[in-house]
Amino acid sequence: QVQLIESGGGLVQAGGSLRLSCAASGDTVSRYVISWFRQAPGKEREFAAAISRSGSTTTDEDSVKNRFTIDRDNANNTVYLQMNALKPEDTAVYFCAADENRYYSMSRSPADYAYWGQGTQVTVSL
């Protein structure tokens, strides 16, 4: 089974950028759908972006479209989330997760993901 470790979070001013990394071990990351979710205090975990086994991607249209981009580096067995034009409402713990049951489709439900990292904190200040 795959193990996931997130990194790259931190404190950034509004309008700034961060690049989160999700490093996989124990298996090849391209064998999974990998998604990024985020969870703010007192709120439910919400979908941000996903990349399928074939490399197609999708992002949440309402909250992060045109600001966040997901991509995968097979050589380094890592998935990235590039976050631009950050807003205070992007403040959350960001998690990456792996789903081994889908190929082309990408679920936006946390319940469909069996493997999770420990999360990385992103804080966006005014």
Question: What's the pLDDT tens digit per position in 79-89?
Answer: 999 999 999 99
3-state secondary structure of 117: coil
Question: What secondary structure letter does DSSP report for 101?
Answer: S
Mean pLDDT score of the chain: 95
**Predicted pLDDT of residue 118:** 98
| Average pLDDT of the segment spanning 54-60 | 90
Q: Are strands 115-116 and 120-125 parallel, antiparallel or unpaired?
A: unpaired
| Average pLDDT of the segment spanning 39-64 | 93
Enumerate residues 6+ apart whose C-beta is below 8 A from 53: 30, 31, 32, 33, 102, 103, 104
**Predicted pLDDT of residue 34:** 97
Share of the chain above pLDDT 70, in %: 100
